[in-house]
Structure 1
Amino acid sequence: MNDRRPPAFVLTGAFWVVCRNPRYLQELAARGLKILLVTPRGWREPALAAQADPANPAALIDEIAFVDGELNQDGSFTAGVLARAADWRARYRITGAYAVGETLVEPTGLLADALGLPGPGLRATRVCRSKPLQRWYLPEFAPAGAVLPAAERAAFDPHSVSYPAVVKPAARHSSSGVVTVDDAAALAARLGGYPAHETLLVEQKVVGQEYSVESLVQEGKVLFASVTRKTTTESHAATFVELSHSVPSAPQAVDATLLAANARLLETLAFGSGIAHAEWRVGAAGRPVLVEVAARTPGDGLLALYRLATGRPLEPEIVRLALGEPADYPEPRRWTRQVYLEHEQGELAEVRVDWPGIEPVWLGEAGVWPDPAVGAAGEPGALRAVLVLKERGSRLGPLESSEDRAVCFLIDAPSPEALDALEQRVRAAVRIEVRDVD
């Protein structure tokens, strides 16, 4: 009997992430697939408004399901996602599923497994959503430390760990709640400030450069892997908010070590098909230490950086992996960087850019990231975009998580040295105006 259900593809994650990367929608629509989106209920109003706007890429979405859950409670979204998916399974022939953001990675893995669809696999999607499980499955890459279940937090001896140490909520993302503590008294004070239900990790701080490795994997085979170099606020604060990404990392011996460690990680997790984003630290002894690993698209502007670096977008290959189609991706040919600018505290009034042909793009108002031109391998360095992530009048506070950042820019150049020089010129050309707030 012929299956008359229309073919469909399920995307999951925060609605703003879908808007930031509309090429997913365009790729799926070009294949004639119905696009079904699952997103947290808090996005209901902006998502429906965008879907109803013919000029918005979200107009390509056929159905949106809104689910309830808490970002800091492990597994809280699963029941809602599977309930909506059960309805869709009866009405559509689901041919693929993909989590565009961290929030719904695990239920998306369950959906793909039940329907026999390509995906990272149950172990990978489960472990990648749990920092304690990452320490359990990957002990060779784990920092020294302890997992504190919520019920055992009060009994924990703060003198039992080495300092400086890092405290991490187990179920959050975007560096939320991650801080450095320098002694037992500071740790004891910090532990009392987290919600009572949260599981925490307390780990010895790894002093060294931070990196990430982005990998495209198909049926367990790594098709592409590249190292990204990062900077964070830890150079002058107790937090770890990311301030820059450089794709690729400046060539050095540590890249080979990281790629080898990353390959072992993927093998241990039995990673099937999809994209993996693993964050690493390399200490003075040269040992790679895993910060965390995710079974989804890298965040911030990394997709844009890979397009600028290679000349090709990643999203079409990610869609191909999710559909079981052959995929490939070229090596970088240019050096690229995203830089987040720190700001004063107060009310965001204006962002000014003194650069020919470049005006700031206010994403807080438009929502869709621009698609800047791609340079040839030997072209001079260029400022591609200045992005404002908040709306005018937004209150700007200290950088305690990724959501607190307000302005960034994207640049690319033919060499690492040219990229560094270009960054300094752009920093001098961008001014964030902040009004005092009583």
Structure 2
Amino acid sequence: MTDRRPPAFVLTGAFWVVCRNPRYLQELAARGLKILLITPRGWRERALAAQADPTGPAAMIDEIAFVDGELNQDGSFTAGVLARAADWRARYRIVGAYAVGETLVEPTGLLADALGLPGPGLRATRVCRSKPLQRWYLPEFAPPGAVLPAAERAAFEPASVEYPVVLKPAARHSSSGVVTVGDEQVLAARLADYPEHETLLVEQKVVGQEYSVESLVQEGKVVFASVTRKTTTESHAATFVELSHSVPSAPEPVDRALLEANATMLAALDFGSGIAHAEWRVDAAGRPVLMEVAARTPGDGLLALYRLATGEPLEPEIVRLALGEPADYPEPRRWTRQVYLEHREGVLDDVRVDWPGVRPVWLGEAGIWPDPPVGGPDGPGELRAVLVLKERGSRLGPLESSEDRAVCFLIDAPSPEELDALEQRVRAAVAIEVRDVD
């Protein structure tokens, strides 16, 4: 009997994450697949308006389903996602599914498993959404510490851990709620600041450089992996908001240890097919310690950095992995960096860039990330883009999570030394104009 249902692909995640990287939509549309999107209900008005605009990338989406849930509550989106997918399963022949953002990773894994589609697998998608499970499945890479279930938080003894510690919510992302705590009294007070339903982790702070490893995995085999070097607000604050990403990491012996630890981690998670984004620190003894791992696309500007570094986009390979097609990716040939500029508190009035041929792109107004040209391996260092992540008139507060950042830039160069020098020149050329609150 001929299956007359049209072939379709399910994308899940926050609407803005999908549309800021329209290559996913372009890849799927080029294959003649119906594009089905599941996104949290809070995006309904903006998503429907964008879908109705024939000139924008969202016009390629055939259907959008909106689901309810809370970002800081495990499993709260699952029932809605599966209900919408059940309706689509009756009307479409679903050939692939992929979670673009963190929000819907686990229900997307359930969807793929039930339909026999390529994906990271049930263990990987579940564990990657839960820091306590990551500590359970990967104890050899875990920092010393304790998991505090919500109902047991009041019974925790602050004197039982060695300071300084890092206090973090188990289910959030974007560094939200993650802080360094220096003593028992501060920890006792901080514990009361979190919602009563949240599970928390109290872990000994790992002092050392922070990295991430991005991996493309197909049927359990790592087909590409690369180390990214990071900086955060940790250098001068109690928070861990990321301030820069360098792709690839400067050549260091630690890269080999990180890649070996990362491969061991993926095997322990029985990671099937997809992309993994794991965040690591290397302690004073040279030991990689896992902060967390995600079974989805890396955030911030890492997709753009990989394209600038290798000359090729990552999104087509991610789609191939989700469809079971052979995937591959080249090694980096240039040095790239995304830098987030810190700002004072107040109201954002303007961003000025004193650089030939470069004007700031206001993403709050345009929505889509620019697609800058790619340089040759030996080409000069370039400022590729200055991005404003907030709208004019936005209130800028302290950097407590990734969502608080306002301005960043993307650069690339033929050597690490030239990249460092270029960063300093660009920093001096970008001015964030903030006025005091009336």
TM-score bin, normalised by smaller chain: over 0.9
- The aligned residue for residue 206 of structure 2 is 206
- The aligned residue for residue 17 of structure 1 is 17
- The aligned residue for residue 363 of structure 1 is 363
- The aligned residue for residue 98 of structure 1 is 98
Structure 1 distance, partners of 2:341, 2:170, is 28
The reply to whether residue 296 of structure 1 matches residue 296 of structure 2 is yes
Alignment of 1:226-245 (within 5 A): 226-245=226-245
- The aligned residue for residue 170 of structure 2 is 170
Structure 1 distance, partners of 2:164, 2:343, is 27
The 3-state SS of whatever aligns with 2:237 is coil
Alignment of 1:332-411 (within 5 A): 332-411=332-411
- The aligned residue for residue 72 of structure 2 is 72
The 3-state SS of whatever aligns with 2:154 is helix
Please list the CA deviations of residues 12-49 of structure 1 after superposition, one character each: whole Å capped at 9, or x if unmatched.
00001011111000000000000000000000011001
Structure 2 distance, partners of 1:270, 1:129, is 15
- The aligned residue for residue 434 of structure 2 is 434
The reply to whether residue 415 of structure 1 matches residue 393 of structure 2 is no
Structure 2 distance, partners of 1:110, 1:404, is 32
Structure 1 distance, partners of 2:6, 2:380, is 48
Q: Partner amino acid for 2:265?
A: L
Structure 2 distance, partners of 1:346, 1:22, is 33
Instruction: List 4+ stretches of structure 1 deviating above 4 A.
Output: none
Structure 1 distance, partners of 2:35, 2:261, is 36
Please list the CA deviations of residues 281-333 of structure 1 after superposition, one character each: whole Å capped at 9, or x if unmatched.
00111110000000000000000000000000000000000000001000000
Alpha-carbon shift at residue 200 of structure 1 (Å): 0.1
The 3-state SS of whatever aligns with 2:119 is coil
The 3-state SS of whatever aligns with 2:292 is strand
Instruction: Calculate the TM-score normalised by the size of structure 2.
Output: 1.00
Instruction: Calculate the TM-score normalised by the size of structure 1.
Output: 1.00
The 3-state SS of whatever aligns with 2:432 is strand
Structure 2 distance, partners of 1:160, 1:101, is 36
Please list the CA deviations of residues 77-121 of structure 1 after superposition, one character each: whole Å capped at 9, or x if unmatched.
000000000000000000000000000000000000000000000
Structure 1 distance, partners of 2:151, 2:125, is 26
- The aligned residue for residue 51 of structure 1 is 51
Q: Partner amino acid for 1:208?
A: G
The 3-state SS of whatever aligns with 1:316 is helix
Structure 1 distance, partners of 2:396, 2:49, is 26
Structure 1 residue runs without a partner (length 5+): none
The 3-state SS of whatever aligns with 1:374 is coil
Structure 1 distance, partners of 2:379, 2:247, is 17
- The aligned residue for residue 5 of structure 2 is 5
Alpha-carbon shift at residue 72 of structure 1 (Å): 0.3
Structure 2 distance, partners of 1:104, 1:299, is 14
Q: Partner amino acid for 2:355?
A: W
Structure 1 distance, partners of 2:39, 2:190, is 32
Structure 2 distance, partners of 1:330, 1:366, is 31
Structure 2 distance, partners of 1:427, 1:45, is 37
Q: Partner amino acid for 1:73?
A: Q
The 3-state SS of whatever aligns with 2:151 is helix
Q: Partner amino acid for 1:413?
A: A
- The aligned residue for residue 182 of structure 2 is 182
Structure 1 distance, partners of 2:34, 2:393, is 38
The 3-state SS of whatever aligns with 1:73 is coil
Structure 2 distance, partners of 1:160, 1:395, is 40
Alpha-carbon shift at residue 10 of structure 1 (Å): 0.1
The 3-state SS of whatever aligns with 2:135 is helix
Q: Partner amino acid for 2:327?
A: A
Alpha-carbon shift at residue 225 of structure 1 (Å): 0.2
Structure 2 distance, partners of 1:12, 1:246, is 27
Identity %: 89
- The aligned residue for residue 126 of structure 1 is 126
Structure 1 distance, partners of 2:47, 2:111, is 23
Please list the CA deviations of residues 44-83 of structure 1 after superposition, one character each: whole Å capped at 9, or x if unmatched.
0110011001111011000000000000000000000000
Structure 2 distance, partners of 1:30, 1:370, is 21
Structure 2 distance, partners of 1:198, 1:151, is 9
The 3-state SS of whatever aligns with 1:222 is strand
